[in-house]
Amino acid sequence: MKKMWLALFAVMIMVLGCASRPSAYQFIPGTYIGEGFGYAGRMVMAVEVDSSRIISIAVREHSETVAIAAPAFDRIPRQIIERQSLVVDNVAGATLTANGIITGVRYALISAGATEDQLMARAPRRAGARAREIRMETDVLVVGAGGAGYSAALEALQAGARVIVIDKLATIGGNTRVAGSAMNAANPELQRRLQMSPSEFNIIQGILAMPAHDDHMRRWQENVRRDLAGHTARGAAYLFDSPDLHKLQTYIGGDFIANPELVELLGDYALESVNWLASLGGGWTENISAAVGATWARSHLPNFNFGSAGSNFVLPQEKRFTQLGGETFTEFRAERILMERGRAVGVSGRNSAGTPFTIRANRGVVLATGGFSANVEMRERHNRFWPTLDATIRTSNIATANGDGILMAEAIGANIIDMEWIQLVTRVLGGSFSASISNNIFVNRDGDRFIREDGRRDDLSMASLSQPGSFFWWISDGHTVDDMLGGVDIRGRIIRDRVDNYRIFMAYTIEDLAIQKGADPVRFRRAVDDFNAAVAGAPDVFGRQVFESKINKPPFFAAWSSAEVHHTMGGVEINVYCQVLDTSGRVIPGLYAAGEVVGGIHGSNRLGANAITDIIVFGRIAGQSAAASR
């Protein structure tokens, strides 16, 4: 069986021989440079040719996420050289990167003397017998190799089940691998380092004064009221938090649309899941902060010991899963859930070679296929809130987040809920500096603040879309860039190297930064001064409550930012065992789901950093439940 592999590929691909071609090239020997654009921006290719052949291809510059783009870096140059043609196979999950490579190579080869007809000629390929259908059998089949999928797979494997994971992409990690790098959990041990401000105390009091929406909310309020009284009686000055406060803010933040039984699980098992990842080797910093849209400083930040962005939320599980004998098959695209006598018994589909496969699961199928933020047709069909979610609105997620798991489940009668709730997030172009909002502010084109930066994500996004040009500047300084991040962004790139004086600016005074980005220096200085006064205790004009440091430590940064589709709160309906329910509210035997493919956990608006908590908590439950099924 095919084993999953992970490696960083060399960017130089060379070959000693090549296939014959219908029409020979007539190159001027040398090395030529060409540019293309991938998922994250500009790519520079260097192509070496002799008088008639392509000799080597090197990726000189790129900003792609290597974990996702690695197969394209390996396969596309190798296939171009082997075939002496730009007619090559697609790479699942890295199409934009592949296109950037091909475009750069095309321009380089045209400079060397090639014609379009020559470049697009197909090299002769050997005819072979059609591959027979692949058939496999296991106890638990997990569809989706992201954080939810591997959390489920590892739990099922450790419970004694045989487990197979499949994914349509060429690499593992899915959307988790490019996540914003924060995970919510109430953790008083770390929160003792944060002093609770009067405004934060007032936030809790406001929550406790709200009319209870149901018995769950009433009980959470009673527990928080009791625990806060004890906190105050002890004379504690540090930031108060508890699983029940986390539940309340999640439930209220989603406008009471979420299933409170699922919110209960999210809050109760959040910290246990943080510690579970740590037990698998996933490291954490000692910082606890508030991610954008988190509304409270309970966001845990990884130390990136497994790689950049969201690697720490999926690779620890995958590593242990593989060590224990679990198997992963990449580029296996599931197309249909197999049903027998009303029970889910496996899936069928095709691999990247077009070979059909059928995998039977004796105990259960776990859907962990993610959301539909990259599926413009689904976004537009279900959108009820935003002016438009057409192709002009980008997504922060991978291009293959297209809701195929939701569609497969719907086809066998699963109930689909909350699809109209589609979240946008305010994000720095090309990836954020940090998942934390604590030391950052948003200013518009003119240099004015326009929103409380610690607010709900839907409020932040709607406000940013209403600014001149529908964009804003994300303002940061040395407190975040140097002290918190060590000069490196969440994707592992040196932040100062990203300064291009076009989309990202750096200056050593506030006034110079304003001039560079085209804002009024007086208005921008006023915005910064007003924020700094609020950090010192003055009322914030926009009602912001979460603060840490003033913006007063050079260098200062401004990054072009906009709202992008980030999370889809709708999906299949589940119960507390992660069993999928049908349209009549009955369990579909053998079918489980976890992660963004699920609806009912976040309501109308997901709090920032709750998604990682979601995928780990419910991924583990789904794996345990599937393994226990007979």
Burial zone of 532 (CB within 10 Å; 0-12 exposed, 13-18 middle, 19+ buried): middle
Taking alpha carbons only, the member of 408, 298, 1 closest to residue 165 is: 1
Sign of the CA dihedral running 537, 542, 543, 548: negative
The pair of three-digit structure tokens given for residue 38, joined into one six-digit string? 């991938």
Q: What whole-number distance in Å separates Cα of residue 154 and Cα of residue 141?
A: 12
The pair of three-digit structure tokens given for residue 237, joined into one six-digit string? 């000055």
Do 401 and 395 form a contact (C-beta atoms < 8 A)? yes
Taking alpha carbons only, the member of 625, 604, 626, 585 closest to residue 382 is: 604
Q: Are strands 134-143 and 356-367 parallel, antiparallel or unpaired?
A: parallel
Respond yes or no on whether the N-terminal peptide bond of residue 555 is cis (omega within 30° of 0).
yes
163 forms beta bridges with 140
Only one residue has tokens 């934009």, namely 96
Do 545 and 197 form a contact (C-beta atoms < 8 A)? yes
The strand ranges marked E within 97-153 are 134-143
Only one residue has tokens 């003397």, namely 113
The CA angle 251-254-257, to the nearest 5 degrees, is 85
Taking alpha carbons only, the member of 19, 315, 49, 29 closest to residue 177 is: 315
The pair of three-digit structure tokens given for residue 408, joined into one six-digit string? 């497969």
| Catalytic-residue membership of 457 | yes
Q: Are strands 134-143 and 163-167 parallel, antiparallel or unpaired?
A: parallel
Choose the catalytic residue: 106, 333, 363, 457: 457
Catalytic residues: 457
